[in-house]
């Protein structure tokens, strides 16, 4: 199984990052053997109270390099920075610009358009690390769409489109949002109702979208709409994909107040007669759903990695706190009622992490089914949520106070249980595809 290995970016001048990454190859098993040999046999790889350790088992040299470089950037953005952004609902431009300036926005986009051409395995490390720094979804979501959202364009767009769209995105000059969910159809994406009709050199689009993240700051949108009526015999046909200007003179954008991840906006979009040029159609008309599906497994892996980051951040804060907080004459971490649930959280997070990075490796090696990506995303979201909840309970009253950050972690850990796909739908998928059971809906 061949894997790309990236030398730690912190050791390289920015200009050499992409060249090096594309030249070097090694097997993941070799990387693993080296990692093991370089350590004492019984040494714990990374303690839960360490800040963004690089030496995690199952990560290869390339992933460790990404970890180290991203950790260096993220260490400048403290929990206090993220609390302020969350409270004031302000987009984290400083982190976004830092990542763009250091060339990280194109981590898994093609090198010929300025990307690094790495895999989902590396992008997952990048997003986990951002989230784990204390940024949680506020940090990860600020770049998530740029990191991976344009995969359908990279895969199905023409050379002219990729030149026009990927280059400014990777340079951080343009931001994209992702317009799929609709108010009336929810998870039943095939039934979405927004409709585009062709008039000569443009389409006119009418309809609405809901929960569209970063629409307040994005110049572009990847939009899935209907170009033919729903046909029960061919339910996945008739949807088309556009990547186009999010033209505020034609689209009404209204922010949705929400529970968490408040630094990154989420919106409803209404459009009556939105003119979109035909050259902004991606791939073939009517094939949009297949193109979106292509990236779904990767999306699950990345969101799972982001969730893991929150879980580890919660454990890190809590390990410190319970070691220091003395009640009844002992640090509370000495009491098994506190210690054992935290130990369980670590075990759950580590199992989920192994599943997420297995799914990442399979995806990068061309595996297209979704059982590991979906299962990994489910396990990561659930274990992150439990870790954040245990963090609050272990902090007692202070867990409820904003000052200790864990209440923010819990709010942020809720999101990946719902979006981009819910736990119920993942269980439906496993039930049908893996267990071979009948579909209930």
Residues that bind ligand FAD (CB under 6 A): 177-181, 186-187, 211-213, 258, 261, 266, 415, 418-422, 424-425, 428, 441
Within 10 angstroms of residue 439's Cβ, the number of other Cβ atoms is 7
For residues 208 and 394, which CB has a smaller minimum distance to ligand FAD in the complex?
208
Min CB(257)–ligand FAD separation in Å: 11
For residues 161 and 213, which CB has a smaller minimum distance to ligand FAD in the complex?
213
Min CB(239)–ligand FAD separation in Å: 13
Interatomic CA distance for residues 62 and 26, integer angstroms: 10
Min CB(125)–ligand FAD separation in Å: 22
For residues 21 and 141, which CB has a smaller minimum distance to ligand FAD in the complex?
141
Min CB(425)–ligand FAD separation in Å: 5
Encode 66-112 in three state secondary structure. HHHHHHHHHCCCCHHHHHHHHHHCCCCHHHHHHHHHCCHHHCCCCHH
Residue 344 CA, distance from chain mean position = 25
| Nearest Cα to Cα of residue 349 among 384, 319, 373, 318 | 384
Contact assessment for residue 319 and residue 342, using Cβ atoms and an 8 Å cutoff: yes
Min CB(63)–ligand FAD separation in Å: 26
Interatomic CA distance for residues 44 and 426, integer angstroms: 33
| Nearest Cα to Cα of residue 270 among 215, 324, 344, 343 | 215
Residue 167 CA, distance from chain mean position = 21
Helices vs. strands in the chain: H and E counts, helices first? 15, 12
What are the Cα distances from residue 161, in Å, to 57, 89, 158, 228? 40, 33, 5, 24
Contact assessment for residue 190 and residue 239, using Cβ atoms and an 8 Å cutoff: yes
For residues 186 and 277, which CB has a smaller minimum distance to ligand FAD in the complex?
186
3 state SS of 224: strand
Query: Could you tell me whether strands 220-226 and 176-179 are parallel, antiparallel, or unpaired per DSSP bridges?
Result: parallel
For residues 211 and 321, which CB has a smaller minimum distance to ligand FAD in the complex?
211
For residues 403 and 424, which CB has a smaller minimum distance to ligand FAD in the complex?
424
Residue nearest to ligand FAD as judged by C-beta position: 186
For residues 364 and 382, which CB has a smaller minimum distance to ligand FAD in the complex?
382
Min CB(248)–ligand FAD separation in Å: 17
Min CB(296)–ligand FAD separation in Å: 11
Min CB(438)–ligand FAD separation in Å: 12
For residues 258 and 290, which CB has a smaller minimum distance to ligand FAD in the complex?
258
């Amino acid at each position: 199984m061949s894997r790309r290995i990236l030398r730690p970016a912190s050791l390289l001048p920015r200009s050499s990052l992409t060249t090096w990454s594309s030249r070097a190859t090694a097997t993941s098993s070799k990387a693993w053997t080296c990692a093991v040999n370089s350590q004492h046999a019984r040494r714990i790889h990374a303690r839960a109270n360490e800040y963004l350790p690089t030496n995690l088992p199952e990560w290869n040299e390339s992933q460790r390099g990404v970890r180290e470089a991203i950790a260096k950037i993220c260490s400048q953005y403290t929990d206090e920075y993220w609390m302020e952004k969350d409270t004031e609902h302000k987009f984290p431009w400083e982190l976004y610009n830092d990542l763009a300036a250091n060339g990280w926005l194109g981590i898994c986009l093609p090198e010929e358009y300025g990307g690094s051409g790495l895999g989902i395995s590396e992008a997952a490390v990048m997003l986990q690390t951002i989230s784990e720094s204390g940024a949680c979804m506020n940090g990860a979501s600020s770049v998530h769409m740029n990191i991976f959202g344009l995969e359908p364009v990279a895969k199905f767009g023409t050379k002219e489109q990729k030149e026009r769209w990927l280059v400014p995105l990777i340079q951080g000059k343009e931001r994209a949002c992702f317009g799929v969910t609709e108010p009336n159809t929810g998870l039943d994406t095939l039934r979405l109702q927004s409709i585009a009709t062709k008039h000569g050199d443009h389409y006119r689009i009418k309809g609405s979208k809901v929960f569209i993240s970063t629409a307040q700051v994005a110049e572009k949108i990847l939009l899935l709409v209907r170009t033919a009526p729903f046909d029960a015999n061919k339910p996945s046909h008739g949807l088309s994909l556009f990547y186009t200007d999010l033209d505020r003179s034609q689209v009404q954008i209204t922010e949705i107040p929400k529970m968490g991840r408040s630094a990154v906006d989420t919106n409803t979009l209404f459009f009556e007669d939105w003119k979109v040029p035909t050259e902004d159609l991606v791939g073939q008309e009517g094939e949009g759903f297949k193109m979106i599906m292509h990236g779904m497994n990767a999306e699950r892996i990345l969101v799972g990695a982001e969730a893991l980051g929150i879980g580890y951040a919660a454990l890190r804060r809590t390990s410190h706190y319970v070691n220091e907080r003395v009640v009844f004459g002992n640090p509370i971490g000495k009491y098994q009622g506190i210690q054992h649930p935290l130990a369980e959280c670590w075990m759950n997070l580590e199992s989920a992490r192994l599943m997420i990075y297995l799914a990442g490796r399979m995806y990068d090696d061309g595996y297209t089914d979704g059982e590991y990506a979906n299962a990994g995303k489910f396990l990561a979201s659930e274990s992150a949520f439990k870790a954040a909840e245990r963090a609050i309970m272990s902090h007692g009253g202070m867990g409820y106070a904003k000052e200790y950050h864990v209440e923010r972690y819990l709010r942020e850990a809720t999101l990946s249980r719902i979006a981009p796909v819910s736990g119920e739908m993942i269980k439906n998928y496993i039930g049908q595809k893996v267990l071979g059971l009948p579909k209930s809906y």
